[in-house]
C-alpha cells in the first residue's frame, strides 16, 4: 500500500452470530459495513485453515484448506441445500466465547444434510464445482484424502498409518480413495462451499474499498496434509518423525522461549524443487487476500531449530534459511509483493536487509515501546514509513488490561512519553494513528477498551485461547464514530 491507511484486526470466529461462532455470513458483511463507515480501509484476519485440538489458526491440518467452522449455515438454507430454517439449540451458546466442541456438534448434522442434498441435485457436476475442482485439485486431492484417512484410521498422526500410506505410494492412495470415497467427497464439498462464500465476502469488502489482510504462518503442523504429501521438503528422519522443530528462544513473551513443535523445512530440498510448494502457497494466499503477513518472517533468513523431544525452546541453534530465493522468484512472477513481514523479536541486520530488499513493510507494536529508553524502536517517533503499527497483536493482552498491569520503570516511561497519568486505550490508538507508519492496525478489543477476558491468545499456553467473541454490535456504533474522527484527523 502506498497511501496512509488504517484497519482493524478481528478473526472471523470472533464475530457475533446465532450459532456460537462467527462465520462468513451476515455478521461478516455487517462488520465490513462498520469498517467502511468508520473510515477504515483494511480488515486483518488470522489464518483461515482447519484447526487442530488447540483451535489455534497457527496449527492447522492444511495450509490451503478452509475452516468449515466458518461456513455460513443460513446461506445453505437460502440456496436450498438445507430445506428448513436452522434453530439454535435449546441451551444457548455463550455470547462472548466460542465453545468449539458444542459448536461443531451442533453444526455437523446441518453440513452433512447439505452435502447429501448437494450430491442428490447433481452438484458435483455443476459448472462452478467443476471449475473449482480444476483450479484446486493440486492441493485438494491430498487434503481430502488426508482428512478421510485421519478420520477413519486410528493413530496419533499420519506417521502411524500403514507403511504404504505413510510413504504416499500410488496404489495405496488409490485404494484408500475408493474405500473412503464418501468422506473425500464430503470434504471437497465443504471446501467448495467455503471458497464460494469466502470470495463472495471478499468481493463485497473490495467494493466497499476494504482490503482483506491475510496471514501466512511460516511453519505448518506436522500432523497435516502438507507434511504428509510433501515429506521430502521437511527435516524428517527415516521413521518420518521430525529431526528438529520450530520455535523461538527466550523472549518478551516467555523466559523459556516458545516451543511450537512444527517440523522445519529442508531448505536444500526446497531449492532443488525451485521452491514450488512455497510459491504455490504464496500465490494461493495472494488470491485469497489483498495483502498478506508472513508470520515469523525472521525464519525466512534463519530459524531457531530445537531438537525433537525437548520440553522447552531453550536448547536450540540458529540455522540458515533462503527466503531470498522464494521472494526473488515470486517478485519475478508478480512484480510488487503485497506482503508485510512480521519482524518482531530478535531481528538481525540480515533479516532487515532481506525485508528492505523486497520493500516489505515490517511491524511495530506500541505495547513493546516502554521497556527501555527513547531509542526504543517501537516508540512512534522512531517509526519509518515502511511499517505497520499496532497497539497490540493477537498475542498481546488487550491494551486496556495491559495499562492496568504496567509497573515500575515501564509505567514511568509510559507516563513520561504521554506527559500524563490518565492514559487510556484511546491515547494509545491516537499514538499509532498519528505516526508516520504507512499502515496502522488496531485489534477490535482495543477500540472497544475491553479487559483481559477479551484476550485472543497467551503465547506458551494452550487452554482458553482463540475463544473470544464479540457478543453483539451495539457498542460498535459509538466507537466507530470516534475511530472515524481520529482516522480523518491523521489522514488515514
Residues with catalytic function: 295, 342, 395
Q: How far apart are CA 20 and CA 106, in angstroms?
A: 9
Q: Which residue has the cell 487476500?
A: 289
Q: Which three cell numbers stand for residue 368?
A: 513493546
CA distances (Å), 431 to each of 31, 289, 397, 450, in order? 24, 28, 18, 18
Amino acid at each position: 500500500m502506498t497511501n496512509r491507511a488504517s484497519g482493524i484486526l478481528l478473526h472471523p470466529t470472533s464475530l457475533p452470530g446465532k450459532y456460537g461462532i462467527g462465520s462468513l455470513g451476515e455478521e461478516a458483511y455487517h462488520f465490513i459495513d462498520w469498517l467502511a463507515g468508520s473510515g477504515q480501509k483494511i480488515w486483518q484476519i488470522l489464518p483461515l485453515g482447519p484447526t487442530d485440538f488447540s483451535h489455534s489458526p497457527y496449527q492447522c491440518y492444511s495450509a490451503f484448506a478452509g475452516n468449515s467452522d466458518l461456513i455460513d449455515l443460513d446461506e445453505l438454507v437460502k440456496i436450498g441445500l438445507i430445506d428448513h430454517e436452522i434453530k439454535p439449540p435449546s441451551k444457548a451458546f455463550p455470547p462472548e466465547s466460542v465453545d468449539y466442541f458444542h459448536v461443531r456438534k451442533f453444526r455437523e448434522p446441518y453440513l452433512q444434510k447439505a452435502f447429501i442434498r448437494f450430491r442428490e441435485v447433481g452438484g458435483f457436476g455443476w459448472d462452478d464445482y467443476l471449475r473449482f475442482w480444476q483450479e484446486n485439485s493440486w492441493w485438494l486431492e491430498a487434503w481430502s484424502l488426508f482428512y478421510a484417512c485421519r478420520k477413519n484410521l486410528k493413530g496419533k498422526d499420519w506417521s502411524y498409518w500403514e507403511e504404504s500410506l505413510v510413504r504416499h505410494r500410488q496404489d495405496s492412495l488409490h485404494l484408500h480413495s475408493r474405500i473412503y470415497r464418501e468422506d473425500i467427497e464430503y470434504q471437497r464439498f465443504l471446501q467448495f462451499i467455503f471458497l464460494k462464500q469466502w470470495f463472495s465476502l471478499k468481493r463485497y469488502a473490495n467494493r466497499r474499498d476494504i482490503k482483506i489482510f491475510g496471514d501466512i504462518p511460516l511453519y505448518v503442523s506436522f500432523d497435516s496434509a502438507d507434511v504428509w504429501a510433501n515429506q521430502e521438503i521437511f527435516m524428517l528422519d527415516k521413521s518420518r518423525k521430525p529431526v528438529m522443530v520450530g520455535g523461538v528462544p527466550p523472549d518478551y513473551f516467555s523466559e523459556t522461549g516458545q516451543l511450537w513443535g512444527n517440523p522445519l523445512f529442508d531448505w536444500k530440498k526446497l531449492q532443488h524443487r525451485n521452491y514450488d510448494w512455497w510459491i504455490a502457497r504464496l500465490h494461493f494466499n495472494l488470491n485469497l487476500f489483498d495483502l498478506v503477513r508472513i508470520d515469523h518472517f525472521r525464519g525466512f533468513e534463519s530459524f531457531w531449530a530445537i531438537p525433537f523431544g525437548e520440553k522447552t525452546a531453550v536448547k536450540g541453534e540458529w540455522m540458515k534459511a533462503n527466503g531470498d530465493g522464494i521472494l526473488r522468484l515470486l517478485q519475478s512472477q508478480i512484480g510488487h509483493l503485497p506482503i508485510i513481514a512480521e519482524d518482531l523479536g530478535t531481528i538481525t541486520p540480515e533479516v532487515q536487509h532481506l525485508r528492505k530488499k523486497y520493500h516489505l513493510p515490517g511491524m511495530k507494536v506500541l505495547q513493546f515501546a516502554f521497556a527501555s529508553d527513547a531509542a526504543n524502536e517501537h516508540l512512534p517517533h522512531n517509526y519509518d514509513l515502511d511499517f505497520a503499527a499496532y497497539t497490540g497483536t493477537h498475542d498481546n493482552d488487550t491494551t486496556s488490561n495491559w495499562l492496568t498491569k504496567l509497573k515500575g520503570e515501564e509505567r514511568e516511561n509510559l507516563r513520561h512519553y504521554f506527559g500524563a497519568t490518565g492514559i487510556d486505550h484511546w491515547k494509545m490508538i491516537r499514538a499509532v494513528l498519528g505516526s508516520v507508519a504507512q499502515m496502522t492496525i488496531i485489534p477490535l478489543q482495543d477500540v472497544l477498551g475491553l479487559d483481559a477476558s477479551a484476550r485472543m491468545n497467551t503465547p506458551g499456553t494452550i487452554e482458553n485461547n482463540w475463544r473470544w467473541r464479540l457478543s453483539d454490535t451495539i457498542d460498535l456504533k459509538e466507537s466507530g464514530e470516534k475511530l472515524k474522527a481520529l482516522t480523518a484527523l491523521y489522514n488515514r
